[in-house]
Structures are given as structure tokens and as C-alpha cells.
Chains A and B, each alone.
Chain A
Amino acid sequence: MDSFHSSLKPSKFDKIQPSMKYLLIFALALTVACGQKEETPLSWKSIEADLQTWLIQAQDGDTIAIPEGNFMFENPLILDGLSDVIIKGAGMGKTILSFEMQESGAEGIRAANCKNLVFQDFTVQDAAGDNIKITDTNGIRFTNVKSQWTGEPSQENGAYAFYPVLCKNVVVENCIAIGSSDAGIYVGQSDSVIIRNNEVYHNVAGIESENSRWVEIYANNAHHNTGGILIFDLPGLTQSGHTTRVYDNDVISNNHENFAPEGNVVAIVPPGTGIMMMATRNIEVFNNRIHHNRTIGTALISYVLVEIFGAEEGSQLDSANAKVNEEYDPYPNYVYFHDNEFKNKHWFPTFENDFGLLFLRYFTFNLPDFAMDGIWPEDEEFVMCLQNNGEFNFANIDAANDLEGRSTNWRDYDCEYGVIDPIYP
């Protein structure tokens, strides 16, 4: 929508005769209300039958070259059991695969049980569920792929633009993700992951790593999402996550309203969140530019806080009921956060979220750049080091005790901690 607005400069607008102006306003209002999908090309072709047949017959080492054009699909494209196959378009924006008319299936492109897949040089959009889901695959690379939901960001959009889950050796690079009602680039329950040089915007979460191990997230531009970069560890899954490096990212103005459907964990993320770490272990966050995220530049929280907030929002449950499995550790630990740059031109946090209101009440005009919930079992050692982050506002909000013991002195955590080795040096 940015280009849409910027083309309507006031000067041009003033030259239009008055009666015309009102009509135009009316027309524009309707256009917006109807959710016009501007980027959707007008004419579509179908290669569904041939492309799916090709994928069924693909041999190890094949390259599936999709020509330039706008292609509409009614069913998901399914890949299973392929090895060393490249799916290649004629370029981002040149080869467009649209699932807007999808009648069956939960994903646009779905791959399972593969080895060394590459997706490159195309656009995929408007699937009923996720745009691209890859599961149980060792070796997956996305490069120069745009994955989006066109039109205004909406709760009706699919959850994930890029969704590798239960995978090993994942690379997502030079990609663009727009409009996901959960996360633009989401990697779940996976090992050895690189997410770099991507642009993600108008998603609820720009980039989210969940229950994954050995993850590198660097040189990405996460802007105008609800939350820029999330590193989460949730209970009850096939594996717990640890060992993540987040560096050299631009995490800017992630102030979008939260349009995730209730029930999904990202629905708790306050609009205006830069980086959020939840229950994660062994994480190094450095050299990031964390600017103008209105509510909180960086948050470090436990899953306990999520349960508390979840229970307060009208559910009959209390946190003790929503029990987690025994092997799960709901507390973050071993955090090294250094050499990051905070800026925030905003005076107020979001009013749309309990966290925001909480910050408004306790930290008006002095919003924390880095906040932690301070929920921690007394008998365990907690290791966190904050270093060289310039001037910044810190808050340990002591959420377990109704903020009574809150502290704003970051120097309690002024220490040096071992860096994490790069995954692929």
C-alpha cells in the first residue's frame, strides 16, 4: 500500500476539481474497504496439471524450470521424496504462483521427505494456509523467493510465508515475506538453520525461530511487522531449541497491529516489539539496529508469562492448568546481548496489548529498550550479559511479584559471556 499512498501527493490531489475529489475519496474508501489486491495481475494461466505431473516424475538431480508468467492454482503443489531437485522460476515477480483460488489442501507448496531441495526465483502468494511448507527434509534452500499475501494484512491470511519444519540444514536467503498472519519466515523444530539477507514486513512476526537448534539469523531487514524477530521455545513439541545467533539485522519500526488469530502464540506479541526471546537458551544477539519499535526494543521472557497472559484473557484456565511437559524448561537462560543499537522516537507504547498498557503505567515517557519478566526459579543460576549497547533503558519488571521488585539498572548484568561459534564458519 505504500506506493499507493505515496502516488497520491497532496499537491496533485488539490488540482482535482472539488466534486471529483469527493467522488475520488469515496471511490478510494470503497477500494480500501473492499481490500483490493493491487499487486494481483489481471490475467492468469494454469500450468497446474503439467507442473504437478512433472513434480511426480522428477528424478534425482532434476531442475524444474517454471517459465515467466502468472499462474493460478486450485490445489496444492506437492513434492515428496525428491533428492537434489531445483524448482526455479524466471525471477521474483516474473514467475508468480497464486493460490488465491485454492479449493483443497492447507498449503500452496508442500514438500515432505526430501533431500536437498532448492526453491528460487519466483513469487508465491495467497495460499489458503501456508504458502510454502517443507517438512521432514534434510537440505532446503530458498533463494530469491517472494512469498506474500496480497492486499491489506488480515487475520484471514495464511500463517506462514516460509515454513520449514522438522528439517535439517535450512537456508532462507534473499527472500521477501509479506502479510503472514503468523510469521513471515518461520523455522520450527529444525536444526542448522541460516536466515540471512531477507526482507520481511507486514507480518505479525517478521522472522520466528521456534524450538530450533543452531540457528543463525543475520543481515535481515525486519520492518513494519508486529514483532521483528522472535526466538521462542514452546512446550510439548518434538524438540526443545537452543543455540541461536542473531546479528547485523535491521529491526525497525515493527509497530503493526497484531492480526494473528487468537490462540496462536504470536497473538500475545505487543505491537511495537523489536526482538523477543522466550524460554530460549544459549543465545547471542549482537550488532543489531533496533530502532523505533514503540513498545519494547528487546524482550526476554519466560513461557510462564505467556501462560499468565493467556489465562487472563477470558479463559477459564489458570496457568497451573495449562501444564507443560516435564522435560520442557519454560525459562530463558545463557543470554549474551551486546553491541546493539537502540533508538526509539515514540513516546507511547501500544495501547492494544496488556504489555503495552503495563509499560504505559510504569514507564511512561521512559519506555524500556530492553525488558525482562524477571520470572525465575530461585534455586537455579541465571546467566545473562548485557554489554556495549550504548545508552538504553532497561527494565526487569519482576512480573512474578506484580512488578514490586522492578529494577531499571542494567549494570546488574554488565558482564562478558562466551560467544557462540558460527554454525558454518
Chain B
Amino acid sequence: MRYLLFILVAAACTSPEKKQPALVEKVSLGVSEVEDYPKYLSDWNLYKEPMNELIPINDRMFPYEINAALFSDYAFKARFIMLPENTGITYDSSEVLDFPIGTLLIKNFYYPEDFKNSKSKRRILETRLLIREENKWEAIVYAWNDEQTEAKRVILGKKVPVEWTDRYGELQRIDYSIPSQPQCKSCHDLGGKLVPIGPSARQLNRDNQLTDWVEKGWLEVPENVHYPQLANFENKDAALEDRARAWLEVNCAHCHRREGPAKNSGLYLLASQTDPYRLGVNKPPIAAGKGSGGLKYSIVPGKPDQSILIHRIESLEPGEMMPELGRKMTHTEGVELIREWISEME
């Protein structure tokens, strides 16, 4: 009898732990597959063979680089634009450029085996396409096979175990998370519409990229255009303020802006934001729940450890972490940067 009680107590103690491995049997509701876009990446005919070298199929498809990239668990990203024949991009000074119907924005996520060795083998995990349709953008995702010969469309996301040696020589291992299709819009949402986030003039303004496109006839700009520029937060020669604000913009402001899905928080983190209260300085949280970490204000100048912002970008707990999606790791260098910025704030 005592033995039985012991078991009961032990069961009571172990079973309610969060994320316990449970036997969950999969049940079908008889729903058919989504079939609106090609099932395989090769159907798009984007790359020369072998596909995993990511060499564009023709000169309407070209690579692009941005100044400040969203943190995605240290994944590298190879980005391309494919423009339809006889079309060009229209300039926009503040938002994403205006791409012609039929444009593809292509982003490949990969990890080199060894970050310190530029010649090391790389493993491509996923390719995301943003497709410019007549009145909207669509987002679809392909997951690469282990052989790196093909990528298959995923609707519901996928976990992929991956490992690499980081720039400090440490072995890293995570279950990389390929997003589900509905999760795409959790970030790619501006005023309720799915939109690209990256290719704005201030992101693309680097190494004569924009002038080069103008020369090639891919981009049309107004006369005497002055390109704005977002800082590269990895560039330690840039001003701390500019680096920190660039990091916040790319990691947070797709939602935390007046037109974004996190507008209800009243916390706006575009680099162009000038009101300190909107940036979170001495601002109490709204609807943060345990995301507040028991702290009172988003940013307390000079006190990173009392700032909710730091708590949330460090956290790995669903329901607390920011961004809500797209990372399993903490961006240590980014958090350091924001810490430094808050420390020096008066």
C-alpha cells in the first residue's frame, strides 16, 4: 500500500511538468493537401544544376545584400530577386521598393559546417519565396532534402536538427524551425496585408547596389535621388545609437510599428522613431503577461537589467521571448549591443 502511494505521488510530480513527452496519436480529419503552388522548388526553374550551388538560371535573377539582417539562429541567407522580362522596380524612399507583378523574392537559409572556414561545406535548410501576384504577395516555403538535390514544399513547418561550428570554434546544435505557412504572416504583415520586409532602399543602399541596379535598368529612381541608409549593426565603426536602432528595426519593427501586428503594444521600434516613450523609455508594458519578467518598463535608461526589452530578447520561452517566432537561440551579440545602448542612455 505504501509502495502504491509512493508511485501515485511520483506520478503526480512528474506528469504535469511542461513539455513532457506524451504519447500523442495522430488523427486525420480527412483534410486534403494544399495545392496552389508547385510542390517542388525545382518546378520553379530558378537555379542551374546542381541546384544546391544556387547559381541563377538567367540574368533576370540576381543576388542582393542588405545592411542589417534579422537574426535567424545564426543561419546564413542567400537572397535573390527574379524580375519578369521587360519590367523594373519602382523606387520608394521609406518602405519596401515597389516590385512588378511576377517578381520573386528568393531567400535561401543555410549553415556552413564551419563558420570560420569560408570553403567549408554548407547545408541549405529552406528556401522561402515571396511571390508578387496581381493584388498581393504570397509566401511559400520549401525544405531541402538531406542530399541537397531538391526542396519540397512545407505548409505546416518542420523541425530540422542541424549543427555547425560557430565563429568562436564552438559546436552548436539546434532543432532548426522552418516556419509554417500561416506563421509567415505573423511577421510579414503590414496593415493586414502580407508584404516583404527586407528590400527597402535603406536596407539595399550598400556597395553601390542601388546605383548598379539603376544602370542595369532594373530600378527606376527619381532625379537627384538621395538614398537613405540603415546602419550595419555589425560594423563597430558605426555609431552605437545607429547600430542599436538598426538591430531593433530589423528584429522588432516588422511588428512593432504603427501599421504592424504589435501596434496594440504602443511600442514602436523603427529606426525613424524619435519619441523616447514610443521606443519604450519608461514605458510600462501593455498585455505583456509574464513577458514583463517582473519588470516595470520596457527600457530603463542606464539599467539594462531592469529593462523588459532585454529580458524578452534574451528569453527562449514561448510566450515571453521576442520576436515570438523564428529563433531557438539568443542572439548574444545583438543582446550585448542593446545592453550597451541602454547602459549608455541617460
Contact of A78 with B180 in the complex, beta carbons under 8 Å: yes
Residue from the set A155, A160, A263 with the largest chain B CB neighbour count within 10 Å: A263
Against A, the Cβ 8 Å flags (1 = close, 0 = not) of B275-312 are 00110001111111111111111001001001010000
Contact of A160 with B308 in the complex, beta carbons under 8 Å: no
Which residues of A lie under 8 Å from residue B16 when comparing CB positions? 34-37, 40, 151
Query: Quick one: closest A residue to B22, CB to CB?
Result: A44
Specify which of B12, B189, B290, B306 is in contact with A156 (CB 8 Å cutoff): B290
B208 within 8 A of A: no
- On whether A52 and B318 interact (CB within 8 A), knowing A44-B22, A101-B22, A182-B287, the answer reads no
A322 within 8 A of B: yes
How far is B184's CA from A80's CA once the two chains are assembled, in angstroms? 11
Which residues of B lie under 8 Å from residue A49 when comparing CB positions? 26, 156
A contact set with B: CB distance below 8 Å: 20, 23-24, 26-27, 30-31, 34-37, 40, 43-57, 66-67, 69, 71-72, 75, 78-81, 100-106, 110, 112-113, 127-130, 135-136, 151, 155-160, 163, 165-166, 181-182, 186, 188-189, 234, 236-238, 261-265, 310, 315-317, 321-323, 325
Specify which of B9, B189, B263, B283 is in contact with A166 (CB 8 Å cutoff): B263
Which residues of B lie under 8 Å from residue A57 when comparing CB positions? 31-32, 34
Contact of A78 with B183 in the complex, beta carbons under 8 Å: yes
- On whether A78 and B27 interact (CB within 8 A), knowing A53-B33, A104-B318, A189-B264, the answer reads no
Contact of A113 with B2 in the complex, beta carbons under 8 Å: no
Contact of B297 with A264 in the complex, beta carbons under 8 Å: no
Specify which of A36, A66, A261 is in contact with B293 (CB 8 Å cutoff): A261
Contact of A263 with B288 in the complex, beta carbons under 8 Å: yes
Residue from the set A23, A34, A46, A325 with the largest chain B CB neighbour count within 10 Å: A34
B317 within 8 A of A: yes
Contact of B182 with A315 in the complex, beta carbons under 8 Å: no
B25 within 8 A of A: yes
B13 within 8 A of A: yes
Which residues of A lie under 8 Å from residue B180 when comparing CB positions? 52, 75, 78
Contact of B266 with A310 in the complex, beta carbons under 8 Å: no
- Report whether over half of chain A's contact residues are helix, strand or loop; otherwise say mixed: loop
Specify which of B5, B26, B296 is in contact with A263 (CB 8 Å cutoff): B296
How far is B26's CA from A46's CA once the two chains are assembled, in angstroms? 5
Which residues of A lie under 8 Å from residue B317 when comparing CB positions? 128
Contact of A263 with B294 in the complex, beta carbons under 8 Å: yes
Which residues of A lie under 8 Å from residue B239 when comparing CB positions? none
Query: Quick one: closest B residue to A99, CB to CB?
Result: B318
Contact of A263 with B24 in the complex, beta carbons under 8 Å: no
- Report whether over half of chain B's contact residues are helix, strand or loop; otherwise say mixed: loop
Q: List 12 A-B contacts (CB under 8 A).
A: A50-B31, A54-B31, A66-B29, A71-B27, A80-B182, A128-B318, A129-B318, A159-B287, A165-B264, A261-B292, A315-B297, A316-B303
B177 within 8 A of A: yes
B236 within 8 A of A: no
How far is B278's CA from A283's CA once the two chains are assembled, in angstroms? 29
Residue from the set A48, A112, A128 with the largest chain B CB neighbour count within 10 Å: A128
How far is B264's CA from A189's CA once the two chains are assembled, in angstroms? 7
Query: Quick one: closest A residue to B263, CB to CB?
Result: A238
- Within the complex, the shortest CB–CB distance from A68 to chain B, in Å, comes to 12
Contact of A80 with B264 in the complex, beta carbons under 8 Å: no
- Within the complex, the shortest CB–CB distance from A37 to chain B, in Å, comes to 5
Contact of A155 with B290 in the complex, beta carbons under 8 Å: yes
- Within the complex, the shortest CB–CB distance from B190 to chain A, in Å, comes to 11
Contact of B182 with A78 in the complex, beta carbons under 8 Å: yes
Contact of B34 with A53 in the complex, beta carbons under 8 Å: yes
Which residues of B lie under 8 Å from residue A50 when comparing CB positions? 27-31
- On whether A188 and B26 interact (CB within 8 A), knowing A27-B9, A106-B318, the answer reads no
Query: Quick one: closest B residue to A322, CB to CB?
Result: B282
Which residues of A lie under 8 Å from residue B324 when comparing CB positions? 105-106
Which residues of B lie under 8 Å from residue A79 when comparing CB positions? 182
Specify which of A36, A136, A237, A262 is in contact with B292 (CB 8 Å cutoff): A262
How far is B186's CA from A68's CA once the two chains are assembled, in angstroms? 29
Contact of A181 with B290 in the complex, beta carbons under 8 Å: yes
- On whether A322 and B297 interact (CB within 8 A), knowing A113-B192, A188-B264, the answer reads yes
Contact of B288 with A72 in the complex, beta carbons under 8 Å: no
Contact of A69 with B186 in the complex, beta carbons under 8 Å: no
B325 within 8 A of A: yes
- On whether A262 and B182 interact (CB within 8 A), knowing A104-B325, A159-B287, A236-B277, the answer reads no
Which residues of A lie under 8 Å from residue B308 when comparing CB positions? 263
How far is B296's CA from A24's CA once the two chains are assembled, in angstroms? 42
- On whether A261 and B25 interact (CB within 8 A), knowing A80-B185, A127-B319, A236-B266, the answer reads no
Which residues of B lie under 8 Å from residue A81 when comparing CB positions? 192
